[in-house]
Amino acid sequence: MRYVLAVLVEDKPGVLVRVAGLFARRGYNIESLAVGKTVEPMVSRMTIEVEADEKILEQIIKQLYKLVNVLKVSNLTEEPSVDRELVLIKVSADVSNRAEIQQIVETFRAKIVDVALNSIVVEVTGNQEKLEAIIMLLSQYTILEVVRTGKIAILRGSKAIK
């Protein structure tokens, strides 16, 4: 099963290496990883998506807690939460198909953020299904490049992770 973990860490050099190393050493594959600052100074939040069974997940959480720089680990999978990812897609496009692509972009409430003679860049935000769907539709044209932020997630309601 795929799990989403919110990990609060001290914002210190080397923390990312420790977390990534833990996954690598034990052979757990990180599906996606997003890191950014929080409102609290010197504390960053990682959203880690991982494919695992329940027993492995328990080990991952315990091993994360063993890292001195890890402050808190929350499993967002079972709780109601909102998750989003942002993707930028560079598609080969010219006058002949730009309008068609524009239509797809509009249907997905995406945005065109760059237009050049032979290409455009599309920005989409959403959950994973939406992103997969638009990438699939755009792949009928030539996709030159895709870049994704990795998933971020937050609990619904007033409960906050800190």
Partner 1 sequence: MKMSGIQMVVESLRNELVDTIFCSPGGTPGDMVSYLSESDIRLVMYCHEQGASHAADGYARSTGKPGVVFCTSGLGLTSLVTGIATAYADSVPMVVFAGRGMSASSVYDAEVDMDISSITLPSTKHSIVVRSILDLPRSIREAFHLATTGRSGPVVLDLAFNAQTDTGIYRYPKNIDIRGYNPVYNSHQGQVSKAAKVLAKAKKPLIYAGGGIIYSGAHEELRQLAEKFNIPVTTTLMGLSGFPTEHPLALGMLGMHGTYWANMAVNEADVIIAAGARFDDRVTGRKSDFATKATIIHIDIDPAEIGKNICVDIPIVGDVKQVLLQLLQKTGPQDTQSWLSQINAWRSSAPMRYFQDPEGQICPQFVIEQIYEQTKGTALITTEVGQHQMWTAQFYKFNKYRSFMSSGGLGTMGYGFPASLGVQLGCPDDVVFCIAGDGSFQMNIRELATAVRYNLPVKVAVINNQHLGLVRQWQEMFFQSRYSSVVLQSAPDFVKLAEAYGALGLRAETPSEVIPVLQKALSAPGPVVIDFRVKAEENVLPMVPPNCSISEMVMTVE
Which residues of this protein are in contact with partner 1, per CB under 8 A? 9-10, 13-14, 17-18, 21, 25, 55, 58-59, 62-63, 65-71
55 or 156, CB closer to partner 1? 55
Rank residues 58 and 145 by Cβ distance to partner 1 and give the closer one: 58
Q: Considering beta carbons, is residue 67 or 104 the nearer one to partner 1?
A: 67
Residue 45: burial class (beta carbons within 10 Å; 0-12, 13-18, 19+):
buried
Question: Minimum distance from CB of 152 to partner 1 (Å)?
Answer: 22
| Cβ 72 to partner 1 shortest distance, Å | 8
Inter-residue contact 46 to 87 (CB < 8 Å): no
The smaller minimum CB distance to partner 1, of residues 71 and 154, is found at 71
CA atoms of 39 and 3, how far apart (whole Å): 24
- Per-residue tokens: 36: 């950014």
Q: Which is nearer to partner 1, 23 or 104 (CB)?
A: 23
Cβ within 8 Å of residue 41, ≥6 positions away: none
The DSSP symbol for 87 reads: E
Instruction: Give least dist CB 145 to partner 1, A.
Output: 31
> ∠ CA(124), CA(128), CA(130), 5° rounding?
55
Residue 54: CB minimum distance to partner 1, A: 11
Unique residue bearing structure tokens 């402050």: 71
Which positions ≥6 away from 74 have C-beta within 8 Å?
5, 6, 7, 161
